[in-house]
């Protein structure tokens, strides 16, 4: 009967795990030696146990094999870098060609560099421009509608604020009613003062005219009476002297 398959997983028993490690390591090194002899290959095997112990096999010397491995690894890295550089250069060329095509397309959309285009290509370009113009107009109308809606909202907000202020003013008027005796304003007070000053000035002018009239009358009477006025004025004084 054939041997059953063993499940490949970690062996939990430490002694069984150590026995299996020794057997498998010996078999691995034997296979490596057979491979090097049969195929004339340079083989090196390095194994570390779970305790950190080193086991190795090399048919040509471990240092020589490792040095060759490092050189091969460096050349492989160089080859990878070179291939990557070539791929990058190809990608750069592709991108340059794409940029040139896009610049030409942009100039054609602006109505320039149309010499190499045929009728069909011009028709396609005209159709693209018309579609782009329609899109621009639609976007413009959308923005204008948004601005109009914002203006309406702002107007409604202002109207609500005005209504609120008006209600607050009415409430204040209800809380503090106006008194019956209204205090005159500064302009009314100034007009009253000016009117009084004009009245006083007119009265003074009238009094001055009356005084002037009286003095004029007395002087005229004195002029007509002559010395009799002087005798009449001196009579009382002489009587006082005789007394």
Per residue in 140-170, pLDDT (tens digit) is 999 999 999 999 999 999 999 999 999 999 8
Per-residue pLDDT, 55: 93
Count of domains for the chain: 1
Query: Quick one: which of 52, 18, 2 has its CA closest to 10?
Result: 18
Coil, strand or helix at 113: coil
pTM: 0.34
Quick one: average pLDDT of 54-58? 93
Quick one: average pLDDT of 215-222? 46
Find the domain containing 44 and state its range: 15-80
Task: Look at residue 137 and tell me if it is in a domain.
Answer: no
Q: Is the pLDDT of residue 133 over 70?
A: yes
Task: Look at residue 238 and tell me if it is in a domain.
Answer: no
Task: Look at residue 212 and tell me if it is in a domain.
Answer: no
Retrieve residue 117's tokens: 């285009």
Per-residue pLDDT, 211: 56
Task: Look at residue 151 and tell me if it is in a domain.
Answer: no
Angle CA 200–201–205, to nearest 5: 115
For 83-96, write each residue's pLDDT tens digit. Answer: 788 888 888 889 98
Query: Quick one: which of 237, 213, 235, 233 has its CA closest to 225?
Result: 233
Task: Look at residue 240 and tell me if it is in a domain.
Answer: no
Coil, strand or helix at 243: coil
Query: Alpha-carbon distance 77 to 111, whole Å?
Result: 51
Q: What is the CATH number of the domain that holds 54?
A: 3.40.1810.10
């Amino acid at each position: 009967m054939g041997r059953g398959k063993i499940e490949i997983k970690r062996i939990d028993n430490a002694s069984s795990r150590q026995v299996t490690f020794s057997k498998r390591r010996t078999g691995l090194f034997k296979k490596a030696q057979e491979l090097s002899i049969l195929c004339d290959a340079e083989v090196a095997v390095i194994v570390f146990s779970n305790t950190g112990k080193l086991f190795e096999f090399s048919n040509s010397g471990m240092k020589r094999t490792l040095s060759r491995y490092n050189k091969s690894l460096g050349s492989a890295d160089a080859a990878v870098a070179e291939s990557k550089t070539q791929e990058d250069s190809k990608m750069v060329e592709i991108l340059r060609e794409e940029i040139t095509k896009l610049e030409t397309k942009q100039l054609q959309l602006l109505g320039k560099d149309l010499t190499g285009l045929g009728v069909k290509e011009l028709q396609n370009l005209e159709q693209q421009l018309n579609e782009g113009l329609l899109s621009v107009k639609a976007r413009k109308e959308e923005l204008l509608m948004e601005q109009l809606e914002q203006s309406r909202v702002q107007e409604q907000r202002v109207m609500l604020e005005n209504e609120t202020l008006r209600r607050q003013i009415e409430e204040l008027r209800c809380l503090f009613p106006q008194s019956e005796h209204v205090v005159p304003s500064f302009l009314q007070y100034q007009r009253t003062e000016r009117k009084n000053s004009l009245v006083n000035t007119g009265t003074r002018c009238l009094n001055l005219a009356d005084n002037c009239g009286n003095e004029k009358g007395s002087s005229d009477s004195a002029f007509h009476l002559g010395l009799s006025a002087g005798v009449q004025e001196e009579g009382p004084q002489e009587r006082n002297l005789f007394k």
